[in-house]
Structure formats: C-alpha cells, structure tokens
Structure 1
Amino acid sequence: MYRRIILLAGLFAMPWLAFTQYEYRVGKGQASIEPNRPILSVALAGYGAPREGRFSLEWKTCANLGKADDAAIVADRLYLLREGTIWQVDLNELEGGPKALKQAECISQITGSNNSLLALTADNELLEATRSRQDELHWRRRGMLEQTPKALSHWKDHWVLLDATGMLWTAKEGGGRLMWDTLVKCDDVIDVMADRENLYVLTAKQEILRYDGPDGWLRVAIRNGITYDQDMQLVMASGEGFWAMDRAGVLYKGQHNSTRQLAVNALLIKKGKDRVAILGADVCGFDASFVDALKQDIQRIFGIAPNAVMVNASHTHYAPVTQYWHTWGPHCQKPDSTYLYTVVKSGILDAMRQATETLQPANLYVGKSEVDIGHNRNLPGTDLPYDKALDVIRVDYENLDKDDIIFLAGCHPVFQNAGREGVTISPNYPGVAREMLLHHSKVRSAMFLQGCGGDINPVDADHRVTAKKVVSAVTDVLDRSQMQPIQGGITFYLDTVKFDSRPWPEDKIREFRTANEGKEGDVGAEKNVRWADLMLQYIENDEMPATMPVFVQTLNIGNWKLVGISRETTTEYGLGVKALWPDKLVTVAGYCNDVSSYLPTSRHIKAGVYEGYDSFFWYGQPNIFPENVYETIIESIKLKNR
C-alpha cells in the first residue's frame, strides 16, 4: 500500500500529467452591425464636414435596358413604361432584356404596391393590373384623379401624388371617390419612391430625401462624385433592395459602400454567481439614454446587473450615426431608428446571447506593452502627453485549441476625410487589426476596446499601417509567454462624478447667435446658431440640463482592474488612473457607456483648443467643463478606491 501511494505521488508530480485549475467560465459572442437591405442609405458619423454630409449609398451597374418614361418593381419583375406601352424584365435574368406586354390601355405612369402593378391612364384613371399566361395585362379600375401628377407612388395603403408645384398629396385607397390631402412640399422633385415603411423623393440635384414626418424631408443620399456619380431619372424599391435608372436607361442596384467589417463583440466572464459583460461596438458613440435602456434589456433577458455591463464604442468616424448630434447638419442630428434598433441593438443582444450560451471553463491572462501609433493633435508646446499603452487580455479555454483576445489602445480611428475612404463604412484600424489577428495560430477571435484617445490622432495617414503596428505589438505580447494570470473574485461598480452645467445667460446666448447668423455655408457658424437655438429652447421649456455627469465604471476581475470612463476621454486620464494603482494590473478605457462630449484637462481648456472649447458646441453641451475637471475626477476615483 505504501509503495502504491509513492507511485501515485510521483505520477502527479510529473509535469506532463499536471492538471490545470480553471478559474472562470467565459463566453464570447460576435454579431455584424452592417446596415441591411431595408435601409436605403445612412449618414456617416464623426465629421461635421462636408456640409452636405457623407452617406453610404453606392449604385452598382446592373444592365442597360434602354430609355424608359417610368418604371416599377413588383416582386422580382421590373416593369418599364415606353410611350404608353409596358415592358417586363426578370431582375434575376437581366441579360435577357425587356419584353413588351400586351395591353388594352394607353398608360402614362406606373408604380408598384406589394404584389400589384398599378398604373395611371392618359385619362387619369387609376388601374390595378393582373397578368395572363399570354403575357397580357388586364386591368381593374381603382378610381379617378382630378389632376395629372408629375409622379405617382404607393405608400402604406395610400396613393401618393406629386403635382407640378412640388406638393405631395395622399389619398387612402378603397372604394368610392379618392379623397386627397396635402402631405408636404418639396422643390425640384423628379421622382417619388416608397418601400414598406418610408417615402422618398429624388430631386433634380440628385439628392434622395426621406419623408421625416412633421420635420419634413431628411437627406439620406447625394451625388458625391465617387459612389454616386450618376444622373438618375427614376428610383424604385423592392423587397430585395433599392434600384434606379439613369436617363440613358442603365439600371443600377443600391448597396451600402462598406468594407463589411462593422461588428459588436461581447465577452461574458463568470465566477460563482458573479458575472460581468464587456461589449465593444464599431460605432462613433452612444447616448447614455440608449445604453441605459440597453442595459435594462440585458438585465431582463440575461439577468446581468446594469452596473456589471460595460459598453465601449470604438469611435470609428466611418460608421452610421448612432447618437443625437443636435447642432450638426440635419442629416446627422439623429440616428436612423431602423439601423439603431433593428441592427445595432439587436446585434448587441445577439452577441450577448452567444456569449451566454457558450460559457465554458477558461483562464484569463493580461499582458502589457506599448505601441507608438499616435500623437497629441492640438495641445501647443513640446513633450506632450500620450499614453502608448497596449493591453492584451487572453482567454484560454479548457476545451478549445484557440483563444479569444481583447486588445486596447488609445487613438482616434480616423484618416483623411477625403476620397472613397471618406464615404466608406469602416471600423478603421481596429477592424483591420481584428482581421489580421485571426491569422495568428492561437487566436480564435479578437475584440477591440478604445482607450483614452480623445486628443490622439494616428501618425500614419493609412489606417492599415496603424493596424499593422497594433497587430505587431499584440502578437509580440502573445508570443512572449509572459502574460500574468488573472485570479480572484469579481466585483463591479458604476459611479458618477457630476459637474454643474453652468449654462450661459440668455442674453449671452442671443449675442452669440447674432454674431454667427447669416453665414450660410460656414459649417462652424451654422453649428453655433443651432447650438444657440438649442440652448434657447432649453430655457423656454425649462429643460436646461443641470449637470454634466461623467460615469466611471470599474470591473474588478481578480487582480485585473478594468476602468471605463465616459465621454471622449483624453490621454492623461489613462495615465492618471493607472498611477493610482502602480503595482496593479489596470486597464483604462474611454468612450464607455456615454459619448456626450470630450473629457479634457485644464491644459486643453486653458489653451482653448478643440477638445477644451469648440467641441462642446458640436456636442450641444450647455458649457465647457471647469478647469479642474481632471483633478476632480482623479480625486473621486482615488477616494472611492473601487
């Protein structure tokens, strides 16, 4: 018996038979947040210029079908109107060309509605078509029009008529005489289009505008000479997307000009009954109201406390608008609700669901390095602050051969706002780096968190060069095998540091407005007028924000501390927070839970640079922060000692 015990003890002491104790259960999820087919076009966030906006729509050439007076799409068939005769072509077989259909009526306009082709005769009679086996159209009479429209469409069980003055009229379909009501006026309209939810017009300036209810029309696309360089005559919508024809009869299909890389990643870490979730999204920013509602949904669905969920925005300047920018051009003032809720929010919840369902034993490791990819872009002087920190967190699963990683750096995901890249949906260098890291033999997925890069821009104009530098540093950390293990329990906190908003007096606001009005085309002056109008509206409605809160979230996962600070956190905050715990593993992320302004230091405010002054007007804030904002926040974090 004694010899047997000695033998077993010897076997367990042998390294190749050692058993690893797994500290946590970890799950990972990822979902695309690319805009999808029901969305024609979205405005890109991040820049107030150019004044006319940057939009995602790109027209892809499909076929030259010859000139047409009007066109409509029903199911997968395109109908063309030529000199009173209707032609048909299958959208899936465009190379066959259009085929003339037999008909008894002389048609002046056509449009589509669900699965029906609708038409208007030369006598202003509305018809609905059915198609026989002999490719002959038969018509059912639907009513009469009292005027000849310039364009005709069908939207939400209503006829939509554009008259010669630019006024749009609507009449609910049904039996009896059509009763027409005015909807809204729009100048220079040449065609009208509707999908299941939205009404659009095409103008002579090659703008596509979406009807936005009481607010009138909202620009959603414009000829930019790059992705939209055609002189379109007709626009159409179908269940498969959006189409257009130019004056030469060339058919185009609309698509989003994108690198197809926008994503949201979720990492769920559990020990015992405690769980924390880290979310990273390829968006420019979120409003606190959206994040708060999102966290409530996560708590309801997954049972995770809101304070245990950290939401980080990568701050790419090439993602669709996902927050309110009240002082920007109208096209950027609010997000497309379909994109924000059915794509972004649904994507986040999907990633969370995947993470919840894939929880499995794992160990966590932290590695720290530096990467020199940025520079302090506006502060005057030399020896300017820049936190070069590159942090890497590795998830080593018990039953998987490859690892999930998180990497963090603090630098704006931007490049020159010009050319094709300026109108391309893209996660910028974080997305390129993620894709490159997947080629590493041990990496299953890579997730990016934005650090404190509010005042840091890349030193390289090419974001791919920035990505390569980041990947080289991350790979070096992974390959050195010197990462420190994370061990211990989980705690989480969300604290708020409130600053008095100190709004301007009303007379000062009015003087500011007067000094900036009447400067049409001056983007900065127009922004200042909109800011003044917003503040005056707050005063009139007694809605002026009383405080400007800064949120500080702390996730303690064993001996690793992840601190997430809201707003566009400038680089010194990362340095200052880590200095509070010099002997601990501390990672500091900015752009967490709310991106409602810059978070400057006294240096930015005293110098009057963008981060310390003008940016607050762009963000629609009541005022700038007080000069001691940095000291107040760092002291609060120190005293709470989370």
Structure 2
Amino acid sequence: MCKNGKFRFKVTGCLWLLGLVGVHSVSFAQYEYRVGKGESSIEPGENILSLALAGYGIPRGGRFSLEWKERGRLGAVSDAAMISGKLYTLVGGNVGEVDLDKFESGAFVLRQDRYIKLLTAGNNRLFALDARNELLEAAAPRGGNIRWRRVGSVQMAPQALSYHDGRFVLLDTAGVLWTAEDRDGSLVWHPLVTCSGAIDVMSDQRQLYALTDKQEILRYMPDTDWVRIAISNGITYRQDIQLLIASGSGYWALDHAGVLYQARHSSVNQLTVGALLVQQDKQRVAILGADVCGFDADFVNAVKRDIQQTFGISPAAVMVNASHTHFAPVTQRWLTWGPHCQKPDSTYLYTVVKAGIMDALRQAERSLQPANLYVGRSAAQIGRNRSLPEADPPYDQALDVIRVDYEHLDQDDIVFLAGCHPVSDNSGKEDITISPNYPGVARELLLHHSQVRSAMFLQGCGGDINPIDVDHRVTAKKVAATVTGLLDQGTMQQIEGSITFYLDTVQFDSRPWPEDKIKEFRAANEGSEGNVGAEKNVRWADLMLQNIQKGEMPKTMPVFIQTFNIGNWKLVGISRETTTEYSLGVKAIWPDKMVSVAGYCNDISSYLPTNRHIRAGTYEGHDSFFWYGQPNVFPENVYETIVEAIRSKNR
C-alpha cells in the first residue's frame, strides 16, 4: 500500500510478505497518535413543530422549517384530538374514531348521549364542551362508547379548547385565552393572555400554540408574549388550516376542506456535528464542527464545562466551529432581529444540538485507535470578496485537508477547511429548507471516494467571502474535486510531534455610544414599520438604553484566539465572523509552517473586520454590529492588534 509517496505496510493482510522479503527488510509504520472520529445528526425531530431559520434578517415575516404533508381526507370535521395515536373527530356534534392507516374507511361514530361542539385531549383523557357549555371528560373510548362526566362549566363564548400542563385552556371569540386548573370541585377560570386573530389553540404539554386567521402559528412565551414560529409561505405551508392537533407522534392539522396534514421539517436531512479527537500520551484535543449559523459564547462555555466533566478534556483543548450555514435553525440570540429570531428554541438547542455535540465526542472517544495524520493544501476558487471596493481585494482561496490514516482501517477520515459563506442565493423551497448548504453536499460527494470513510467541514475566515456560483451544488462539486485531487496526488505532509493547546483573549473597549446619541438614533429610525433596517435600529437603540438603565452595558468586546499545535501542524481558531485577511495575516506569521486558520470558533457575536471594512463603512465594518446588538464597531486597528497579539505570544 502506497500513500503520500512513501510505502507503509499495514499488519492486516500483509504478513504473507514476510516470507518473501524477510523480516529485516520490512519497515512497519510507527503510529504517532490515537485518533477517534464521531458524527451525530442535529436534525430537528418530530417533537418540535417548527423552527425559525437563521442567517438572514429578511423576509420580515421570517423563514421557518414547517412543511405540511397530506395524509388523507376526512370531510367536514369541526374539531379533532388525538390520544395514544388514535384520532377522534367531531362531525355534526358526534365524535368519531379514525384509523390513520385506513382513511378510506372513514370515521367510526362512537355512541354517546351529548351534542359536542369542541374537543381536546390531555393526560390520556378526552375532553369536550357540549351545547350547554358544560365541560366534560371521558377516558379513552372503548367498545364504541363514550361515557362523559361533567367537570365544570364555561361562561365565556368559546371558540377553541385545549389542555396544557394540568390546566384547561379556552379561547373565546374575543381572542382571550382563559385557564382553569384541572382539579376536583368547581372550575375557576382566569384570563391568561390575549391573542388577536386567534382561531385555534393547541398544547403539546410543553408549549402552548395559537393559530391565527392570517395562517400564523404562534408559540406562547410568558416573558415575551407570542412569538411566530410558522407562517403561510405559499410553498411548504400554503394550506388554509383551521385546526392544530398535538400528539405523542408529532403534530397534525386539518384544513377547511377536511384534509389531514402531518407536520414535517422541510429539510435535506444533512445537518450534523462532527468531532475529531486527537491524542498523544496524556494530551488530547477535540475539534468540533457543527452545521449551525453560530453560537453564543455562554452556550459554548457551558458545553465545554460538560465536556470537561464527562470526558476530562480541558475547555482550552476543545474548539467548536460553526459552518455558518444560513439554512439551519436559530441557535444564538439575535436580539435586534424580528422576535422570531431573538431567542433559539431551547428544545432544539439543548436536546438536539448540545446532545449531538456530546454524542459525537462520545463516539470519537470510543473509537480512539492508532493513526497517522497528514495535512495538505490546495486552492479552490469558490468565492469572492463581496465588500471591499478595491480592484484586487484580499481572498484566501486555500483549501486545507487533514487525513486520518488508521492502522486497522482501510479507509480514512478527512477534515477539510475553506473560508466562504454558505449563503448561495437560493430561491423558492431551497430558501426555506434546512440545509448545511455547500459543505453538506461536499461531504456527501467525498464519501464516493474509495479512500474516504467520513468527511468533516470546518469554516475558515469567510466573513467577507461569498460563493461565486449561485447554485451551492456547483460550489460543493468544486470543493469535493479539490479535496479528492489532493488526496489522489499523494503529496500530503505527515504530521509528527507533540500536542499543545492554548486559549487566549484579546479585549477591546466596547466604547458604547452616549445615551443622547442613542436616543437621537432611535428617533431618526422610529415610525418606519415594515422597514427591516429601521426596525432593527430601533431595537438596537432600545437594547442599548436598557443596558444603560440596568447597568449591564458590556465593557469589553472580547476576541478569542485558540491555538492547537498537533506536531508540525498549527490550527488557529478565531471567534466571530472572521474576514479573510485574518487568515492571510496569521499564516504570514509562520511562513515555513503549515498553519490552518478557522473563523467562527467558540463565539460568533459580531463580524471581525479590518480597518479596510471600517473605513469603507461596509456591512462587515459597520451595519452588522447593529444586527449583532454590539455596543459599537471595533476600533480601526482591530486587525493589527489581533495579529500582533498572536505574533507576540507565538503559541
């Protein structure tokens, strides 16, 4: 077996050579490291109804993952509920039971003695409101009968009924939601919240949702009232929904024509988090790459603490990189964006993304085995500098590849790094479909190479670099071709030597605006409803004024610099949306060493521009800081300060 221009004999399958060439003439490989690789899906599951997608402040109404898939036609249904996978429908005051696998059979009408006008379920019980506004309950129907028991009454004009967290929830015709505790004795109703235009209310026992006459689906959040989580977009959600239904198997809806739909996430099902664990003796470092737009530092730090507790790996030895795809669910706080993007869905962030990170690293630890590492570099002309007005703006088109050559495996794991935004100008369904964009397609293409077992992507310094091709699949093909070309050349350099790691911080004074200037800025932008940029500026001003009032204005704007030395290969990870010149500048510090530079590491709380962006007033150097809710832009010498800090520490 010949790799990288040198012969290397694996023990497996090669022992027969001993008898031919003699023991002393065979040179067995010395494996420098123990390496493990893990990968876990971070696709949202059916326990999440819909998620806002990150990366774009437009359209104003938001981009959401919900897609309705038709399951069958039920006819003129006025209400419905599910218990243990069984669907109960209300038609003409009668409750029927529907076998979801046999729609053509229609509903089996249950025997009952009440005229029912509203229906819901909770705690494995069926609840109803009859014609006299009496609230009824029944255990799951058996033998074709429903036996109702009165539990209370309603004085309001009811429009929809639900059951949430041990309480009845009633929506009246004025859009007011009322709640009453589910307990023995007379029910006492209390107003909870108003939802203008609401036509239905639904609970999955964790969250409370409302459907409006504008075909918006809203989630109730006590600290912020209602937040939009889906809206009719004419593509994945174009139905005229009248009812929402939650069950243990997910979410359902009925339209006015009686068609039943099941909720799905519009996705290409490629979102992953990858983990590479490299160990030599007692030193080990973990490199994590996740298909998300970005992370907040507090989330990453919490994950690193859990990693230290679970795996014994120092936080300074864990690098978390975001691919920055603009087609993943929101995973960080965008406090000056529309309300639907201001906070990530906690279920997705913690039970999917965080759990995925831990699972990928757990796989990597379990699979640790002897391996050699190789590094190589090629060039992929996939992007362009989108902002700087110069005739020849900077762009680092390097594409770095790390190959893991295992002692006992015939295929290799690879890590590839390129600096370019995953923001292909998709339209139609692609714009509202969960996707890692070109990195995901490139990974899939690389799996067709006979030498590649798995592929993991790291985002480089692509803050001001956009793809030159509109179709992300074209970009992916270029990336994959460049990687496979490098693998096939056999010229990659072996990585040899000890492991060291460092995590440094460069602090910049936040230099917040004076209060009077903030108020003037707010006044200049208010009253422009529908103008996304002006609305963002008002939210930014309100956020800054709130920080002043509460004494919570950030005093500094930190930039984190993480350095991994794995033998003769140096990986530098920089926080924030790092622009391309940082990659070029950091590599120039060590011209005779193989240095890879990843941006988007550990904290993506703003852009990291250079004085060129700041002086030119480009998006990266000015307006983006308002989108990120930062106190101010960086000083003009930010680039020089960071590069000099890296140079002087010489990690």
- 1:576 matched residue in structure 2: 585
Q: Post-superposition shift, 1:134?
A: 3.7
One-letter code aligned to 1:180: W
> Deviation of residue 117 (structure 1)?
1.2
Is 2:305 the partner of 1:296? Answer: yes
1:416 to 418, 425, 444: 425
Change (3 A) 1:140 1:238: same
Taking the aligned partners of 1:106 and 1:176, their CA distance within structure 2 comes to 23
Q: 2:605 & 2:125 partners in 1: Cα distance?
A: 47
2:93 to 84, 91, 96: 84
2:114 alignment partner, one of 79, 82, 105:
105
CA-CA distance at 1:378 after TM superposition: 1.2
Q: Is 1:318 matched with 2:342?
A: no
Q: Decide which moves more: 209-218 or 43-52.
A: 209-218
Number of the residue aligned with 1:220: 229
Matched, 1:210 2:228: no
Tell me the distance in 1 between the aligned counterparts of 2:609 and 2:115. Answer: 68
Matches of 2:274 and 2:140 in 1, distance apart? Answer: 49
Larger mean CA deviation between 295-304 and 145-154 belongs to 145-154
- What is aligned with 2:152? 143
What is the aligned residue count? Answer: 634
How far residue 169 of structure 1 moved from its aligned partner, in angstroms, is 0.6
Contact 1:438 1:446 in 2 (8 A): yes
Paired with 2:21 and 2:136, the residues of 1 have a C-alpha distance of 91
CA contact (8 A) 1:112 1:154 kept: yes
- Once superposed, which parts of structure 1, at least 4 consecutive aligned residues long, lie more than 3 Å away? 7-10, 130-134
- Going from structure 1 to structure 2, the CA distance change for 1:480 and 1:142 (only over 3 Å counts) comes to same
The verdict on how the C-alpha distance between 1:13 and 1:131 changes in structure 2, with shifts beyond 3 A counting, is closer
1:618–1:148 Cα change, 3 Å: same
Alpha-carbon shift at residue 478 of structure 1 (Å): 0.5
Measure, in 2, the Cα distance between the counterparts of 1:191 and 1:131: 23
Aligned to 2:274: 265
CA shift, 1:147, in A, is 2.6
Instruction: Give 1:609's match in structure 2, choosing from 601, 614, 618.
Output: 618
Q: 2:61 aligns with which of 47, 52, 69?
A: 52
Deviation (angstroms), 1:91: 2.1
Q: For 1:434, which of 437, 443, 451 is the aligned residue?
A: 443
Equivalent of 1:478 in 487, 492, 502: 487
| CA distance in structure 1 between the aligned counterparts of 2:272 and 2:284, rounded to whole angstroms | 23
Which amino acid in structure 1 is aligned with residue 383 of structure 2?
Answer: G
* Counterpart selection for 1:374 from 379, 383, 406: 383
Deviations 1:236-268 (A, max 9, x none): 000000000000000000000000000000000
For residues 562 and 501 of structure 2, what CA distance do their matches in structure 1 show? 8
How do 1:456-475 residues align onto structure 2 when only pairs under 5 Å count? 456-475=465-484
Q: Does structure 2 retain, via aligned residues, the 8 Å contact 1:76–1:90?
A: no
Measure the CA separation in 2 of the matches of 1:179 and 1:451. Answer: 59
Q: Verify the 8 A CA contact 2:83 2:140 in the aligned structure 1.
A: no
Please, which moves more after superposition, 467-476 or 82-91?
82-91
Please give the residue correspondences for 1:177-216 in structure 2 after superposition, counting only pairs within 5 Å: 177-216=186-225
Read off the aligned partner of 1:244 and give its amino acid letter. A
Q: Which whole-Å CA distance do the structure 2 matches of 1:217 and 1:572 have between them?
A: 42
AA matched with 1:424: T
Question: Which residue of the partner structure matches residue 564 of structure 1?
Answer: 573
Partners of 1:317 and 1:413 within 8 A in 2? yes
Q: 1:425 aligns with which of 431, 434, 448?
A: 434
Give unmatched runs, 5+ long, in structure 2: 1-17
Match of 1:625 in 2: 634
| Contact preservation (8 Å) 2:296, 2:332 | yes
Secondary structure at 1:636 match in 2: helix
Residues 487-506 of structure 1: per-residue CA shift (max 9 Å, x gap): 00000000111111110011
- Is the contact made by 1:131 and 1:138 (CA closer than 8 Å) also made in structure 2? no
Kindly indicate whether residue 194 of structure 2 is the aligned counterpart of residue 176 of structure 1. no
**Matched residue type, 1:257:** S
Q: Structure 1 residues 8, 468: CA separation in 2 closer, same or farther (over 3 Å shift)?
A: closer
- 2: CA distance, partners of 1:214 / 1:505: 29
Structure 1 residues 8 and 262: alpha-carbon distance in aligned structure 2, compared to 1, 3 A threshold: closer
Residue 527 of structure 2 corresponds to which residue in structure 1?
518
Residue from 16, 22, 37 that aligns with 1:11: 22
1:360 to 359, 365, 369: 369
2:251 pairs with 1:251 = no
One-letter amino acid of the counterpart of residue 285, structure 2: V
* 3-state secondary structure, aligned to 1:537: helix
How far, CA to CA, are the matches of 1:131 and 1:307 in structure 2? 54
- Residues 76, 92 of structure 1: 8 Å contact kept: no
Structure 1 equivalent of residue 13 of structure 2? none
Match for residue 4 of structure 1? none
Counterpart of 2:14 in structure 1 is none
Q: What amino acid is aligned across from residue 404 of structure 2 in structure 1? A: V
> How much has 1:339 moved relative to structure 2?
0.3
Greater CA drift, 61-70 or 405-414: 61-70
Q: How high is the TM-score relative to the length of structure 1? A: 0.97
What is the distance in 1 between the residues matched to 2:352 and 2:101?
27
Instruction: Tell me which residue corresponds to 2:39.
Output: 30
Question: Does residue 391 of structure 1 match 2:400?
Answer: yes
In structure 1, which of residues 127, 150, 156 is the aligned counterpart of residue 136 of structure 2?
127
SS at match of 1:404: strand
Say whether 1:39 aligns with 2:48: yes
* Partner SS for 1:529: helix
Q: Which stretch of the first structure deviates more once superposed, 281-290 or 98-107?
A: 98-107
Report SS of the residue matched to 1:182: strand
Aligned residue in 2 for 1:593? 602
Post-superposition shift, 1:148?
3.4
Amino acid at match of 2:343: K
* Secondary structure in structure 2 of the residue aligned to 1:301: helix
**Aligned counterparts of 2:300 and 2:275: Cα–Cα separation in 1:** 15
Report the AA paired with residue 533 of structure 2.
G
Paired residue secondary structure (2:543): helix
How far is 1:129 from its partner? 2.0
Aligned partners of 1:432, 1:61: CA distance in 2, in Å?
A: 28
1:233 match: secondary structure: strand
Q: Does 1:277 align with 2:286?
A: yes
Amino acid at match of 1:60: K
CA positional deviation for 1:131? 5.5
Write the distance in 1 (CA, Å) between the matches of 2:544 and 2:156.
Answer: 45
Residue of structure 1 equivalent to 2:353: 344
| Cα displacement string for residues 387-431 of structure 1 (whole angstroms, at most 9, x for unaligned residues) | 000000000000111100000000000122531111000000000
C-alpha distance 131-571 of structure 1, shift in aligned 2 (>3 A): closer
Q: Tell me the residue number matched to 2:553.
A: 544
How far apart, CA to CA, are the structure 1 residues paired with 2:142 and 2:650? 79
Once the two structures are overlaid, the 10-residue window that deviates more, 75-84 or 238-247, is 75-84
CA distance in 2 between partners of 1:134 and 1:43 (Å): 43
* Cα-to-partner distance string for 1:564-604 (whole Å, 9 max, x where unaligned): 00000000000000000010010000000000000000110
Percent of matched pairs sharing the same residue: 68
**Alpha-carbon separation, structure 2, partners of 1:533 and 1:568:** 24
**1:99 offset after TM fit, Å?**
1.7
What does the per-residue CA deviation read over 1:420-468, in whole Å, with 9 as the maximum and x for residues that have no partner? 1110000000000001101110101000000000000000000000000
Residue range with higher mean Cα deviation, 305-314 or 163-172: 163-172
| Contact kept in structure 2, 1:72 and 1:78, CA below 8 Å | yes
